[in-house]
Structure 1
Amino acid sequence: MNVLVILAHPDQGSFNHAIADTCKQRLIENGHRVIFHDLHREKFDPVITSEEIPKEGKFSDLIRKHCDDLVNSDGIIIVHPNWWGQPPAVLKGWIDRVIRPGIAYEFKDGDNGEGIPIGLLKAKTGIVFNTSNTSEKRENEIFQDPLETIWKNCIFDFCGVKQFERRMFRIIVTSTKEQRGRWLNEAKGIIDAYFPEF
């Protein structure tokens, strides 16, 4: 299977990078092909232009490559920190520019975009790994976990990816090496559950 892994964290020594590396390694060990993008290292430009917005809009070869990688993926894994209850700006820009109409979703003929979308992605599974310094109780009671809504409902389900799992690792700032090791083993287990060896 082709599995797309998208990483969005500027610090090359971050736990997000450790998660992404663990996912890539486990996927390869299980016999899958990994398509990997470290958005910060690639200096992905998150700013969408007005010319790109329409379904038939004009966009660069780089965006075309990202769109092709998305369309050709059987599974999608996203790794990013929880910043203000949202993905980092570089990842939000990737969503804006790559999860496009005609690529990831469309509407029925005669529907100008006010109706229910038709998901176009062939990926069956979407997995999101997040890191946070907010307690689960506070996240759920005060902020109501906006990342769950963003990824599960607003993005993956919208684009036809019905099998979804999200795992938040917390609290990173006070975590021990041993705790982080257990988290990485948990990430391996999630990969094995959705993308087993074949």
Structure 2
Amino acid sequence: MKISVILAHPDTSSFNHAIASTAVETLRQAKHEVFFHDLYQENFNPLLPAGEIPRDADLPSAIENHCTEIAEADGIIIIHPNWWGQPPAILKGWVDRVIRPGVAYEFLEGDDGEGVPCGLLKVKTALVFNTSNTETLRERDVFCDPLETIWKNCIFGLCGVHNFHRKMFNIIVTSSEAQRKKWLNEVRQTVMELFPSE
């Protein structure tokens, strides 16, 4: 399978980077073809210029490459911290520029003239790993877990990816080395289960 792995964290010593390394290593051991992008390392420009908004826009080669990889991917893994209940801005910009009409979705005209979304991604499984310094109950009961809504419903659901999984690791700031090793084992196990060897 072709699996796209997208990492969005500026600190190369972060636990997010450890998650990404573990996920990529596990996928490669399972003989999958991996498209890995560390958005900060690549200096990905998150600003969507007006010229890229039209469906038939001429895209810069870097964006075109991202779009081609996403269109060809059988699976996707996204890794990022929970910042204010949202992905980092660089990842939001990646979504704006890459998860675009004609690549990830299109709108069909409904009976009342309203656009009806139709997913175009061939991705069968999407997996999101998040890190947070917020307790799970607070995230769910006070904030209503916005990342679950964003990724599951607003993005992957609209793009036709219904086999969605998400794991949140918290509390990062006080976690021990032993706890982090346990979490990385969870990452490895989850990736193996969702993207088994062919």
Calculate the TM-score normalised by the size of structure 1. Answer: 0.97
Q: CA 1:182/1:138 → structure 2, altered by over 3 Å: closer, same or farther?
A: same
Please report how far the alpha carbon of residue 115 of structure 1 lies from its aligned counterpart in structure 2 after TM superposition: 2.5
Q: CA 1:113/1:69 → structure 2, altered by over 3 Å: closer, same or farther?
A: farther
Supply the AA of the counterpart residue of 2:76. Answer: I
8 Å CA contact 1:107, 1:113 repeated in 2:
no
Partner secondary structure for residue 52 of structure 2? coil
Gaps spanning 5+ residues in structure 1: where?
none
What's 1:160 paired with?
160
Deviations 1:29-83 (A, max 9, x none): 1111110000000000000011111212232111100000100100000000000
Structure 1 consecutive aligned stretches of length 4 or more whose deviation exceeds 2 Å: 109-116
Supply the AA of the counterpart residue of 1:145. Answer: D
Supply the AA of the counterpart residue of 1:194. Answer: L
With 109-118 and 9-18 compared, the bigger mean Cα shift is at: 109-118
Indicate yes or no: 2:101 matched with 1:91.
no
Please report how far the alpha carbon of residue 109 of structure 1 lies from its aligned counterpart in structure 2 after TM superposition: 5.2
Supply the AA of the counterpart residue of 2:83. Answer: W
8 Å CA contact 2:4, 2:36 repeated in 1:
yes
Please report how far the alpha carbon of residue 182 of structure 1 lies from its aligned counterpart in structure 2 after TM superposition: 0.4
What's 2:150 paired with?
150
Map 1:102-181 to 2 at 5 A. Answer: 102-108=102-108, 114-181=114-181
Distance in 2 (CA, whole Å) between partners of 1:53 and 1:91 is 17
Map 1:1-198 to 2 at 5 A. Answer: 1-108=1-108, 114-198=114-198
Q: CA 1:72/1:112 → structure 2, altered by over 3 Å: closer, same or farther?
A: farther
Percent identity among equivalent residues?
A: 59
Please report how far the alpha carbon of residue 108 of structure 1 lies from its aligned counterpart in structure 2 after TM superposition: 1.7
Supply the AA of the counterpart residue of 1:31. Answer: K
Gaps spanning 5+ residues in structure 2: where?
none
Q: CA 1:57/1:169 → structure 2, altered by over 3 Å: closer, same or farther?
A: same
Distance in 2 (CA, whole Å) between partners of 1:177 and 1:15 is 11
Q: CA 1:113/1:134 → structure 2, altered by over 3 Å: closer, same or farther?
A: farther
Distance in 2 (CA, whole Å) between partners of 1:173 and 1:114 is 46
Q: CA 1:57/1:112 → structure 2, altered by over 3 Å: closer, same or farther?
A: farther
Distance in 1 (CA, whole Å) between partners of 2:99 and 2:127 is 16
Q: CA 1:7/1:111 → structure 2, altered by over 3 Å: closer, same or farther?
A: farther
8 Å CA contact 2:16, 2:79 repeated in 1:
yes
Please report how far the alpha carbon of residue 87 of structure 1 lies from its aligned counterpart in structure 2 after TM superposition: 0.3
Distance in 2 (CA, whole Å) between partners of 1:72 and 1:196 is 18
8 Å CA contact 1:2, 1:73 repeated in 2:
yes
Supply the AA of the counterpart residue of 2:183. Answer: W
8 Å CA contact 2:110, 2:116 repeated in 1:
no
Please report how far the alpha carbon of residue 113 of structure 1 lies from its aligned counterpart in structure 2 after TM superposition: 8.7
Distance in 1 (CA, whole Å) between partners of 2:118 and 2:88 is 27
Please report how far the alpha carbon of residue 111 of structure 1 lies from its aligned counterpart in structure 2 after TM superposition: 8.7
Distance in 2 (CA, whole Å) between partners of 1:159 and 1:177 is 37
Partner secondary structure for residue 130 of structure 1? strand
